[in-house]
Amino acid sequence: MGRTFVCSLVLLCFLIPLTVADWNILNQKTHNGLKISLKNYCESWRMNVELHNIRDFQVVPEECTEYITKYVKSTQYKVDSERTTEECLVYLSTSCNLKKDGKDAWIFDIDDTLLSTIPFYKNNLGKKINVTALEEWMSKGKAPALDYSLRFFNEIKSRGIQIILISGRREHLRSATIDNLVNVGYHGWTGLILRDPTNELVSVAEYKSQVRKYLTSKGYRIWGVLGDQFSSIAGNTGGIRAFKLPNPMYYVA
């Protein structure tokens, strides 16, 4: 009797945490009663981030960090991203009447548009962004190029379009950013605009919108914008076409 009770107690100790964990995610159902798996849950979360239905999140949900890490290191992530740059080229080839007078322009973001921060975030998903640690990592200039973006960058350049980089990085990272870009193959841009103390208090979306407005006032015809955050393509676009690369790792307002 005593042994039976002890065995039952041990078994119960194993089952309770499994039951609780199972209730948290694996036994969840939609409002229509559809049972969903952890993969379903995390894929739905990622998709709604990309659709901009989920906004202002500070961290990737803890239960989805492994899934998101696998995604950004997967072939699917590369296929999704490359499809974006291919659509940029289709648009550029079919809908843009380039004047070729030195005023045709295309705008790129930098982080997770031209350079990858996956090496930093793969160990920091599920944690609030530590800006000091992130900037220290950026200052080392070790971010790898995103191959599909590098190919598109070079194609843009070959067509005589002025390339302007607008980043949320701060001005003190200018030298490290230039070195990093050049070392992985990016060169020949017209302008590199970073945040300085005069615009650090406004949102990234407003800051980038103001820069685009300024460039337009200087006579640039901005044909397109490529970024990984909605804040890179939101606000005053002047009717230009904006393209967004996938990025479920973090959110920048």
Q: Band the pLDDT of 9: cuts 50, 70, 90.
A: very low
pLDDT of 130 over the 90 cut: yes
What are the tokens at 169?
């990085």
Q: For the chain, how many structural domains are there in total? A: 2
Q: How far apart are CA 226 and CA 85, in angstroms?
A: 8
Domain shared by 134 and 180, yes or no:
yes
The whole-number pLDDT of residue 10 equals 40
Structural domain includes residue 43: no
pLDDT of 16 over the 70 cut: no
Structural domain includes residue 55: yes
The whole-number pLDDT of residue 15 equals 40
The whole-number pLDDT of residue 235 equals 72
Mean pLDDT of 75-83: 98
pLDDT of 22 over the 50 cut: no
Domain shared by 117 and 154, yes or no:
yes
Structural domain includes residue 154: yes
Least confident span in 11-15, 51-55, 123-127, 207-211? 11-15
Structural domain includes residue 134: yes
The whole-number pLDDT of residue 3 equals 47
Domain shared by 121 and 8, yes or no:
no
Domain shared by 14 and 125, yes or no:
no
The whole-number pLDDT of residue 221 equals 95
Please name which of 133, 252, 117, 113 lies closest in space to residue 195, comparing C-alpha atoms: 252
Q: Which domain holds residue 182?
A: 48-244
Domain shared by 174 and 63, yes or no:
yes
Q: Band the pLDDT of 35: cuts 50, 70, 90.
A: confident
Domain shared by 30 and 145, yes or no:
no
Domain shared by 23 and 143, yes or no:
no
Domain shared by 27 and 121, yes or no:
no
Domain shared by 202 and 237, yes or no:
yes
Q: Band the pLDDT of 13: cuts 50, 70, 90.
A: very low
Domain shared by 30 and 81, yes or no:
no
pLDDT of 93 over the 80 cut: yes
Q: How far apart are CA 190 and CA 164, in angstroms?
A: 6
Domain shared by 54 and 21, yes or no:
no
Q: How far apart are CA 97 and CA 199, in angstroms?
A: 33
Domain shared by 92 and 12, yes or no:
no
Amino acid at 215: L
